[in-house]
A = this chain, B = another copy of it.
């Protein structure tokens, strides 16, 4: 039985606060303040913040301190989606080629999670659940594509975290579910080109839906 390290716990708790916008973009993150609040010493807080910095979720200014990363700019948003379009459709194609009935089944389950699931109690938890499920679905496809480098690169960009923060106040549409369904159809048919196209279409539409958040 290993005692999970304090650093991991601190990292996770700060991550959640950032994700839930409890710590808003730009807010300061004083080390000893967090240490007192989480009832640990400064050392693990320091290390957790260093990790979050490398992940791009917080920024550090020498002799000034850490602060939560600002919201995505329009350009960063564009860049992020261009990146996804370079990588994810191709990964969907590859996933299609690697697909086994068992893997497909797991993917279907993952997609189903998004539609049903317990009714949310409030706006916040609902969006959170949706974002989590969507991230899970895309993640599943990347795992099937079996390219750890690509998966890591996307994970490092924290696509879904940023998107969640953006869509926090926007509407969750039924469209995304339908697009996922079209992707699944391509997978079921074993049509790699169709999977590529469906993923491309899905991401482009997702981009256009979210672009409204900048108006």
Contact = CB atoms under 8 A, between A and B. Distances in A.
Contact of A80 (B50, B56, B149): B149
Given A47-B50, A90-B86, A153 B157 contact: yes
B55 A150 contact: no
A5 interface: yes
A83 B147 contact: yes
* Copies held by the complex: 2
Contacts of A46: 43, 47
A93 to B, nearest CB: 11
A207 interface: no
Interface in A21-58: 43, 46-47, 50-51, 54-56
B76 A148 contact: yes
A132 interface: no
Nearest to A82: B147
Given A47-B47, A62-B5, A150 B83 contact: yes
A171 interface: no
A2 interface: yes
A97 interface: no
A191 interface: no
Nearest to A147: B79
Nearest 7 interchain pairs by C-beta: A54-B54, A79-B149, A153-B153, A79-B147, A50-B50, A83-B149, A80-B149
Interface of A: 2, 5, 43, 46-47, 50-51, 54-56, 62-63, 76, 79-80, 82-83, 86-87, 90, 147-150, 152-154, 156-157
Given A76-B149, A153-B156, 14 more contacts: A2-B62, A2-B63, A46-B47, A47-B50, A50-B50, A50-B51, A54-B54, A79-B148, A79-B150, A83-B87, A86-B86, A86-B150, A153-B153, A156-B156
